[in-house]
Amino acid sequence: MQKSKKELVINVLKKNNEGLTITEISSSVKISRNTVAVVLAELKGGNLIRIRPIGKAKLHYWQGGKK
């Protein structure tokens, strides 16, 4: 059974503690940047990730539970 796009993004964030940009996540899970942005917005709304702006880029970190 194939994982959902949300699960793919969550797994990548969990594996990387140093933070990832949308582009890095997108290339890692092979889905579009727009789709990744939508998933990240949903995760942010659920307080499962934190975002740290660095210049124009934003690094995304997993901070959620075991989901």
pLDDT at 30 over 70: yes
CA distances in angstroms from 6 to 9, 35, 56, listed in the order given: 5, 9, 24
Q: What is the pTM of this model?
A: 0.89
The domain limits of the chain are: 5-62
Cα-based angle 10, 63, 37 (whole degrees, multiple of 5): 45
Supply the pLDDT for residue 58. 96
Tokens (6 digits) for 1:
């059974």
pLDDT of 65 reads 63
Domain 5-62 -> CATH class: mainly alpha
Q: What is the pLDDT of residues 39-51, one digit of tens each?
A: 999 999 999 999 9
